[in-house]
Chain A
Amino acid sequence: MKKTLKLKIFASFMLLIAMLAIAGAISILEFRWLSNSVHGLVEDNYKSIEASKKMVEALEREDSGILLLMLGEWEEGREILKAADRSFFSAFEVAKNNLTENNEESYIRDIEKAYRIYKSSWQRPIVDTDKQGNIVWYKDDIHQKFVDTKSAVNELMSLNQSSMFNEVSDLKEKSKRAIMPGIVSIIAALVFSIILNFFITKYFVNPISELAEAVDNYRDGDKSLRVDISSNDEIKKLENAINDLLQRQVKNFNTSKK
């Protein structure tokens, strides 16, 4: 295929546009992934962490409720236990329906099991029984079950926290990856422009200047048009055309002289 001036300029700009377009597309794609990751981070882990915090809070309120019952405060104790139990289950449901990590289901099962055991201990009457004021029962039975349940919830929280930490590290990498095509393409476009400028000067500007100079020289008396254009494009055609024109002029001049 003959490389005309039009084709050369068109191809160069197409390459530049392609590079910038690809860099732009990749950056948009990377930023979309980044945004999905942020969304995922909030949706997946943050929800479970918040639910775990609420469960721990509810457990601590239940513990206070039990202590009130042990002091003989039946009404207030039962009220606190009921509210805390509702609060625990509502948070537990959130965590249960937000399984995002590997093996998270087994953590939920552990919490469910530990809480069932804990709840069965304080559901039975405490006021007016041998449990009222019985600090040994509280220490050996209730407190241990409370700690077990709280530990199970904390483990779920740790799982989601560590996953969140990893996600944040990943996000840092992803944001870097999203920026890099832009940085690289800016540098590449700069280099590309310098090379393009060199080629335009070398293959377009210089030959035209040389042709203009040669025509000037001809006008000043130098009857040979000496320009060496290596390319095989319109400028070469122009050189040939000028050569041809000048040769005809010389021929006409000689004929008219005769």
Chain B
Amino acid sequence: MKKEIIIKHLGVVLLLNGVFLFISFLISFFLNESSTVSLLFSALICGIFGVFPLIFVERTEHISFNEGLTIVVLGWIITCVVGMLPYLMWGGEFTLTNAWFESVSGFTTTGSTILTEIESLPKGILFWRSSTHWIGGIGVILFVLLILPRSKGQRITIYNTEISSLSKMNFRYNTRKIVHILAVVYISLTLLETIALMVFGMNFFDAINHSFATIATGGFSTKNLSIAEYNNLGIEVIIMVFMILSGNHFGLIYGTIMLKKENLFRSSLAKTFVSVLLIGILLVTLKLYLSGTYDLLTSLRYASFQVISLGTTTGFATVDTIHWPIFTQIILIYFTIQCAMSGSTSGGLKFDRVYIFFKLLGKQIKLLKHPNSVFVSKFDGKRIDEKLEEQTLVFIVLYVAVFFATTIILTAMDIDGMTAFSASIATLGNVGPGFENVSSLGNFASLPDFGKFVLSINMLLGRLEIFNILALIMIKK
């Protein structure tokens, strides 16, 4: 393994972070905020460490699988480390653990926060916080692929390790084209949402920050009360629309815009995803209405937002779900487990795997009836590879194992069952809020430091799809 190639690519990752840190610094500088120095210094550190390897390492044509894997995993970890620098240097509520937690939560687009007073943060820090979502949303490494002109071999190696095989299913283009499609859709959605939010009365700063968080399916808000602060139906509808779009496969969104055959309206997976969300909204609305929690329209308004927010792993809130009937909380937990579609900016288990799992379940039931028959699972008319089925099952088992292990560790720290359970699943699925002490309008500040550290590992595992980290450890051994 050529370490110098890995160092060079990690340097480029740092340079990308440096650009966003510098923009955040400019905001702080012009507003004369207390975070000016911490943002400037963090940007300089990124710049220096980014440029340094470029002095030594010559242009390389080939990157091995191991090198690609190491670049992706270390790229995420190093990004999270430099991401916490401005928080740590600024201070306030950011202790070492809190800064690490907030940084990991940002880059992995989880959106869980340790902050109790978000609005007291300087605007520069708020912008950096939202930027971590935006950088992490599309995958730090994909940004790097987009920025640097690279040889085909390099691009494919890194791309293959950054994007799971599930995400590639709806793409029928070469790697270079895919990277550009992802970027174009990502940037266009962000711009469109910013404009739409401004039309409905949000100021530019809040609009761009909320767009970063929505398109990345992150969930960091610039307000303590998240979207509930605005109490504006128009803003909620806009955010819901963009949350659904961001939870879908970007290749399908591109296909829809370009009037291609493979589009959102023809994909059975996308249609099932939206249908499941609608069923969830219906169930939660009815329960909220029938239990007398809210009137029918308010039930529909809150249920829609919360189901879509958790179902797309965004994590914004318009209401605190802590007092909702347990049935509605269970439905929301289901969406926290299911997550959004692969090929989107969401992390976690992914809806595609749940879909394949149910297809596989159907196949097994058929096999019980006709043991000697050969059944083939299909996905939009295409055969699902048995290797993919196997991978999906192994992933689900691993996912559940990690989730249980985290819950046990948290309960060992005397954290109550519901908090431990929901925090584990919400961080592993990169969703954000859970229930009880970490509910939709709450935060993770009250958890012990070790608990926060465990949950931050969960977020990274959820974002890197567990396999990548396992592969890196196994291959190294």
Within 8 A of A (CB), among B44-68: 44-45, 48-49, 51-53, 55-56, 58
How near does chain B come to A21, taking the closest CB pair, in angstroms? Answer: 10
Tier of interface size on chain A: 20 to 34
A244 to B: closest C-beta gap in Å: 23
Q: Write out the residue numbers on chain A whose beta carbons fall within 8 Å of the beta carbon of B45.
A: 19, 184-185, 188
Return the CB mask of A161-199 against B: 1 if under 8 Å, else 0.
000000000000100110011001100100110011011
Which of chain A's residues have a CB closer than 8 A to the CB of B52?
A: 12, 15, 192, 195-196
Query: When the two chains form their complex, are residues B41 and A29 in contact, meaning their CB atoms are under 8 A apart?
Result: no
Question: Does A231 lie within 8 Å of B58, measured CB to CB?
Answer: yes
Are A177 and B92 interface neighbours, CB within 8 A? Answer: no
A203 within 8 A of B: yes
Binds A, one of B82-90, B139-147, B218-226: B82-90
Task: Compute the total of residue contacts between A and B using a CB distance below 8 Å.
Answer: 72
Q: Which residues of B contact A188 (CB under 8 A)?
A: 45, 48-49
Contact of B44 with A19 in the complex, beta carbons under 8 Å: yes
Nearest CB in chain A: distance from B62 CB, A: 12
Within 8 Å of chain B (Cβ to Cβ): is A3? yes
Query: A23 vs B37: C-alpha distance in the bound complex, in angstroms?
Result: 10
Residues of A contacting B: mostly: helix
Q: Mark A226-255, 1 if CB is under 8 A from B, else 0.
A: 000011100000000000000000000000
A18 sits at the interface (CB 8 A): yes
Given contacts A15-B48, A181-B37, A202-B4, contact A176 B91 (CB under 8 A): yes
Q: Is B369 an interface residue (CB 8 A)?
A: no
Chain B residues with CB below 8 A from A116, complex form: none
Given contacts A11-B55, A177-B38, A195-B7, contact A184 B49 (CB under 8 A): no
* B172 interfacial contact with A, CB 8 Å: no
Nearest-Cβ distance from residue B358 to partner chain A, whole angstroms: 48
Q: Is the pair B37, A26 in contact by a Cβ cutoff of 8 Å?
A: yes
- Are A192 and B92 in contact, with the CB atoms below 8 A? no
Residues of A within 8 A of B40 (CB): 26
Interface size band for B: 20 to 34
B41: which of A3, A11, A181, A191 is its contact (CB, 8 Å)? A181
Q: In the bound complex, how far is the Cα of B56 from the Cα of A8, in angstroms?
A: 7
In chain A, what residue has the closest Cβ to B45? A188
Distance to closest chain B CB from A173 (angstroms): 5
With an 8 A cutoff between CB atoms, is B476 at the interface? no
B3 interfacial by beta-carbon distance below 8 Å: yes
Expressed in whole angstroms, the Cα–Cα distance for A34 and B53 within the complex equals 36
CB neighbours (8 Å) of A192 from chain B are: 48-49, 52
Does A30 reach chain B (CB closer than 8 Å)? yes
CA distance A12 to B53 in the complex (A): 9
Question: Which of B41, B53, B89 makes the CB contact (< 8 A) with A195?
Answer: B53
Nearest-neighbour CB distance to chain B for A137, whole angstroms, equals 52
A177–B37 contact, CB under 8 A?
yes
CB distance from A83 to the nearest CB of B (A): 47
Instruction: Check B41 against A22 for contact (C-beta < 8 Å).
Output: yes
Residue of B nearest to A173 (CB): B91
A3 to B4, CA, bound (A): 16
Q: How far is the CA of A185 from the CA of B88 in the complex (A)?
A: 13
The contact string, 1 if C-beta is below 8 Å from chain A, for chain B 13-53, is 00000000000000000000010011011001100110111
B85's partner among A26, A173, A184, A202 (CB-CB below 8 A) is A184
Set of chain A residues within 8 Å of B34, measured between Cβ atoms: 173, 177
CB proximity to B under 8 Å, residues A186-229: 188, 191-192, 195-196, 198-199, 202-203
Residues of A within 8 A of B49 (CB): 188, 191-192
- The chain A residue with its CB closest to the CB of B85 is A184
Nearest first, the 4 A-B pairs at minimum CB distance are A180-B89, A199-B56, A11-B55, A173-B91
Give 6 pairs: A residue, B residue, CB < 8 Å, sorted on A: A15-B52, A176-B91, A184-B41, A192-B48, A195-B7, A230-B58
Interface residues of B (CB under 8 A from A): 3-4, 7, 34, 37-38, 40-41, 44-45, 48-49, 51-53, 55-56, 58, 85, 88-92
Give A contacts to B, CB under 8 Å.
3, 7-8, 11-12, 15, 18-19, 22-23, 26, 29-30, 173, 176-177, 180-181, 184-185, 188, 191-192, 195-196, 198-199, 202-203, 230-232
